[in-house]
Chains A and B, each alone.
Chain A
Amino acid sequence: MIKSLLVIQQGLPYMLQGAVVNVIVVLSAMLFGFMLGLPLAVGQVYGNRFLRRIIGIYVWFFRGIPLLVFLFLFYFGLFTWLDINVSAFMVATMVLGLISSAYQSQILRGAISSLSQGQMKAARALGMSDTKAIVFIILPQAFRLSIPGWTNEYAILLKDSAVTYALGVTELMSRAHHIASRTYEHLAIYLAAGFIFLIFTYIGTKALNILHKKVTIPGCSQ
């Protein structure tokens, strides 16, 4: 027991540094996923049948295959095959981002669809082009409605980011494994790592909740 605590104490800074790597991977992936997910969502709501179908297939594809399979496919497969040299960190971020883009597109799509048709009509009636209406009227409202979804997405991605250990990204999980296999304190170390994930999930969730409160407009939330 005492020995376990000692190992945790000694390993803590090393593991916390790892957790920071997780957070960086997740935030980059969320940003990447947002940049892809936004046009997907807009396309799925306002696009023609053909475009909607294509986006539907994209979402089905990235939501239907496990993260671990994508990681192997991209890291050992695609990039080696194309003879492109990328770090495990990059691949991990990219894969998480691609998967997240599918989920984020659905968060945003839900938010956009939940707005009343009248908002678009009124914007058009003022003489706004559809692009202007989407940028100035629809999206500012949809983003606000999406924050709870993003909070959830952050928590999911953070936990999923532990899987990137399979590629050798030196994040929290891999560091925990490293310490555990040297000290044979598997139980204690993995429990500690679990709690660190829990704490970082809590911090991120809290931050997004504060953001949510800050940008909330009366009558503009669910």
Chain B
Amino acid sequence: MKTDTEPILEINHVTKSFGTNTILHDVSLSIKKGEIKVIIGPSGGGKSTFLQTVNFLVMPDKGSITLAGNRVNPSDKRELCTHRRQVGMIFQDFNLFDHLTALANVEIGMIKVLGMKKKAATERAMAELDRVGLKDQANQYPAQLSGGQKQRVSIARALAMDPRVMLLDEPTSALDPELIGEVQSVIRDLGKGGMTMIMATHQIGFARSLADEIIFMEKGRIVEQGSPDELLAQGAATRTRDFCARIAEIGGE
């Protein structure tokens, strides 16, 4: 067991370019167990790419990722899979496996990656679906679920792997407004339960109430970071506050 002062996840000097277009400039971030960090910033600012470099869905050109004191070597296939297993990921567009029921979506990682027995996996999967309030939808296929339900299944799928850290890439951006609440409340519960999370979002109010730290990212760089109160307080002359004021005008949040 690590002490609370030691970071569970460290991202050091990550740089990523696509062709001549540099998406991430030397980004570093570390997070302690149980902390929640929320990344906000304009679209195309590198938030999603950054989160995807953390579990190497996008291979960083430079920099390193250290999970629980162990620096990950992504060219070792086995180490890469182990790392990804320990980092849960929630996608903006859910990415549930379309050919599997909600239950099977949650089971498949446990069975095929963790090597669990079918029966034990089913039991655990049902428990996770129950946690996100979808026990009665277990046998529905993704196409038969609403957006909010899909996202909750995808959270259950990630939780079933017992991740040390969760990455949430705009988990409510693809949802109809009336469905955002149900997903937010599941994420809030996770936070209360002590889950370590890094989340990108445009929901400023949600970010503010949840985050231990807000990270403002623009043009591939971390521009500001600090507690919500510091960055968003009335009259604080921060870029973060400007940005939030602007999207509040447009989005009316």
Direct contact of A and B (CB under 8 A): yes
Instruction: Give A residues with C-beta under 8 Å from B.
Output: 116, 118-119, 121-129, 132, 136-137, 140-141, 144, 217-220
Contacts of A122 in B (CB 8 A): 89, 91, 95-97, 154
Contacts of A218 in B (CB 8 A): 141, 143-144
With A118-B93, A136-B108: A124-B143 Cβ-Cβ less than 8 Å: no
Q: In the complex the two chains form, is A220's CB within 8 Å of B96's CB?
A: no
- B231 at the binding interface (Cβ < 8 Å): no
Q: In the complex the two chains form, is A121's CB within 8 Å of B113's CB?
A: no
Nearest B-chain residue to A127, judged by Cβ: B85
Q: In the complex the two chains form, is B99's CB within 8 Å of A126's CB?
A: no
What's the minimum C-beta distance from B149 to chain A, rounded to whole angstroms? Answer: 13
- B55 at the binding interface (Cβ < 8 Å): yes
Among B77, B81, B94, max chain A CB count under 10 A is at: B81
Cβ contacts B59-90/A at 8 Å (1 or 0 each): 00000000000000000010001111111110
Nearest B-chain residue to A126, judged by Cβ: B109
Contacts of A128 in B (CB 8 A): 81, 109, 112-113
Q: In the complex the two chains form, is B82's CB within 8 Å of A125's CB?
A: no
Q: In the complex the two chains form, is A137's CB within 8 Å of B89's CB?
A: no
Cβ contacts B85-119/A at 8 Å (1 or 0 each): 11111010111111100000000110011000000
Main secondary structure of the interface of A (DSSP, over half): helix
Nearest B-chain residue to A117, judged by Cβ: B95
- B228 at the binding interface (Cβ < 8 Å): no
Q: In the complex the two chains form, is A136's CB within 8 Å of B112's CB?
A: yes
Contacts of B39 in A (CB 8 A): none
Cβ contacts B144-180/A at 8 Å (1 or 0 each): 1000000000100110010000000000000000000
> What class of interface size applies to chain B in its complex with A?
20 to 34
Nearest A-chain residue to B87, judged by Cβ: A125
The distance in angstroms between the C-alpha atoms of A168 and B109, with both chains bound, is: 53
What's the minimum C-beta distance from A34 to chain B, rounded to whole angstroms? Answer: 19
Contacts of B91 in A (CB 8 A): 118, 121-122, 125
Contacts of B89 in A (CB 8 A): 122, 125
Q: In the complex the two chains form, is A119's CB within 8 Å of B95's CB?
A: yes
Among B83, B98, B109, B161, max chain A CB count under 10 A is at: B98
With A129-B77, A217-B98: A124-B141 Cβ-Cβ less than 8 Å: no
Q: In the complex the two chains form, is B97's CB within 8 Å of A137's CB?
A: yes
Q: In the complex the two chains form, is B55's CB within 8 Å of A119's CB?
A: no
- B220 at the binding interface (Cβ < 8 Å): no
Among A118, A140, A141, max chain B CB count under 10 A is at: A118
Contacts of B113 in A (CB 8 A): 126-128, 132
With A137-B97, A141-B99: A220-B143 Cβ-Cβ less than 8 Å: yes
Contacts of B108 in A (CB 8 A): 126, 136-137
Checking A119, A132, A144 against B97 with a beta-carbon cut-off of 8 angstroms, the contacting residue is A119
What's the minimum C-beta distance from B47 to chain A, rounded to whole angstroms? Answer: 16
Q: Can you pick out 8 interface pairs between chain A and chain B where the beta carbons lie within 8 Å of each other?
A: A116-B93, A122-B96, A125-B55, A125-B57, A126-B85, A126-B158, A127-B83, A141-B99
Q: In the complex the two chains form, is A118's CB within 8 Å of B112's CB?
A: no
What's the minimum C-beta distance from A62 to chain B, rounded to whole angstroms? Answer: 30
Checking B81, B84, B98, B112 against A119 with a beta-carbon cut-off of 8 angstroms, the contacting residue is B98
What's the minimum C-beta distance from A159 to chain B, rounded to whole angstroms? Answer: 32
Contacts of A219 in B (CB 8 A): 98, 141-144
